[in-house]
Amino acid sequence: MGFEYGKFVSSGLGKQIANTLGLPRPTTLRRHKVGAPLINGAVLLAGHGDAPVAAALTEVLSADGVQIATSPSTSVAGVIVDMTQARTPADLETLRGILAPALKTLAPTGRVIVIGRTVADTDDVAEAAARRALEGIVRSVGKEMRAGGTANMVYVAEGADANAEAAVRFFLSGRSAYVSAQVVHVGDAVADIDLPQSWDAPLEGKVAVVTGAARGIGAAIAEVLARDGATVVCVDIPAAGGPLADVANKIGGSALQVDVTAEDAGTKIVEHAAQLHGGFDIVVHNAGITRDKLLVNTDADRWGSVLNVNLLSILKMNEALVPAINEGGHIVNVSSIAGIAGNRGQANYGASKAGVIGMTSSLAKDPQVLAKGVTVNAVAPGFIETEMTAKIPLATREIGRLTNSLSQGGQPVDVAETIGWFAWDSNRAITGDTVRVCGQMILGA
């Protein structure tokens, strides 16, 4: 165990030094617990004009026992502002007028959610400006939030108001602890939206395939999907057979030893899932590697191996997985902020992870995928505490941990929770999106 900044500034002496120097002190984030309420306190629901999405959400959330506040002066744990009726930048004053007093008294690990209409859906220049401005407000507020609070943006297409529930639930909940300043797009659902019997078991009865499941983020994904009701096929290379079996046994799933770059990897997964579980509903493409070097020193092998494992294998496996996945299923890909911002020494990795984002938005629109009602989304983790990041030299590691709005690294479970949410059948109106799980890291913001 080396020196850890977060632990140091939370200790007695460290706290004093941090206060004196004005150093950031990380808050313990509110993470999801089975059986816990959606949010610990009242939620303010307000908006501009008729605020139709807020009206629909008032019903849904109060039916779930969430206390709803309507005045910005009440102290609350969450604020949802419906700006779907904003027509010009002048209307943004409504949002300022609601957020300014509410943020002053927002509880620790509070939540801000702004709802707007999809920018591309208007031909009116002033309206498009107002809609896009919301994103700028949310990203700035994310940087001003204190005590583990997050701010996120939900764009809802005209006619899709009823489809926003899954996104709002996620952003209010502890499942989104390390997700801030993100923008998601709710549109028409690709298949019927099915609400779960229990919001604590949204994946009940589903079968999920997770690659790279023997350790790190993949093991956390397998555990979270199983906790939420899914039976999980855990896939990893034969060399990781021992830990892979441990993960599968722990969660009552099955293990499949296969290298994702093998020509027949997709077919093997399809056959395994069919024989043992009668098919599959969810695929998480998580397996990934790094082979860092400056581009000038990167040879064809170093280049090819990373692109092969992180990107080409997914394209190849999907040739078998897409025709076989159950209707209404979900594909979730693991990208990285290095695929958004780029990273020194990671041209190969950045290429593969940016490629994953391009593949995600394109596959979401593929006629075969649409006909099957399958969603395709991606997560882009920032600095996550795993064996991969533990190997980074101390100074660089501390920078990675601290250069985000929550002043700490994320946990594998944070990535897993976002992936789990993309796999909900109530979440069939978001497809083609990439959500960063990075605590609003400064890189690529």
Nearest distance from C-beta of residue 296 to ligand NAD, angstroms: 23
- The whole-angstrom separation of Cα 365 and Cα 374 is 10
When the beta carbons of 161 and 417 are compared against ligand NAD, the nearer one is: 417
Nearer to ligand NAD, 351 or 429 (CB): 351
Q: Least distance (Å) from ligand NAD to the CB of residue 379? A: 8
**Residue whose CB is less far from ligand NAD, 9 or 416:** 416
Q: Which is nearer to ligand NAD, 153 or 237 (CB)?
A: 237
Give the nearest distance from C-beta 81 to ligand NAD in angstroms: 31
Q: Measured from the CB of residue 259, what is the shortest distance to ligand NAD in angstroms?
A: 4
Q: In this structure, what are the phi and psi dihedrals at residue 349, rounded to the nearest 5 degrees?
A: -65, -45
Contacts of 169 (CB under 8 A, 6+ apart): 38, 199
Contact assessment for residue 244 and residue 215, using Cβ atoms and an 8 Å cutoff: no
Residue 330 CA to residue 283 CA, distance in Å, equals 6
Total number of residues shown for the chain: 445
For the four alpha carbons of 421, 51, 150 and 344, in that order, the dihedral sign comes to positive
- State which residue, 151 or 214, has the beta carbon closest to ligand NAD: 214
Contact 266, 318 (CB under 8 A): yes
| Catalytic, out of 5, 155, 178, 349 | 349
The C-alpha atoms of residue 50 and residue 54 are separated, in whole angstroms, by 9
Q: Which two tokens stand for residue 101?
A: 């007093």
CA nearest neighbour of 32 among 197, 195, 200, 148: 200
Q: What does residue 434 show for φ and ψ, rounded to 5 degrees?
A: -120, 125
Residue 169 CA to residue 115 CA, distance in Å, equals 13
CA 209/CA 282 separation, integer angstroms: 6
Residue 260: what residue type? V
Nearer to ligand NAD, 229 or 410 (CB): 410
Q: Which is nearer to ligand NAD, 136 or 241 (CB)?
A: 241
For residue 299 the two structure tokens come to 């040879």
Q: Which of 230, 444, 439 is nearest to 332 (CA)?
A: 230
Q: Please report, as ranges, the residues that interact with ligand NAD according to CB under 6 A.
A: 211-212, 214-218, 236-237, 240, 259-261, 286-289, 309, 334, 336, 381, 383-384, 386-389
Containing 435, the helix (H) or strand (E) segment is: strand 434-437
Burial class (CB in 10 A: 0-12, 13-18, 19+), 289: middle
In whole angstroms, how close is the CB of 203 to ligand NAD at the nearest point? 20
Beta partners for residue 68, in sequence order? 43
Q: How far is the CB of 191 from ligand NAD (least distance, A)?
A: 27
Task: Give the burial class of 68: count Cβ atoms within 10 A of its Cβ; 0-12 exposed, 13-18 middle, 19 or more buried.
Answer: middle
Cβ neighbours of residue 278 under 8 Å, at least 6 residues apart?
A: 207
Cβ nearer to ligand NAD, comparing 106 with 247: 247
CB of 124 to ligand NAD, least distance (A): 38
Burial class (CB in 10 A: 0-12, 13-18, 19+), 75: middle
- We find the least distance from the C-beta atom of residue 399 to ligand NAD, in angstroms, to be 13
Catalytic status, residue 155: no
Name the residues annotated as catalytic.
Answer: 349
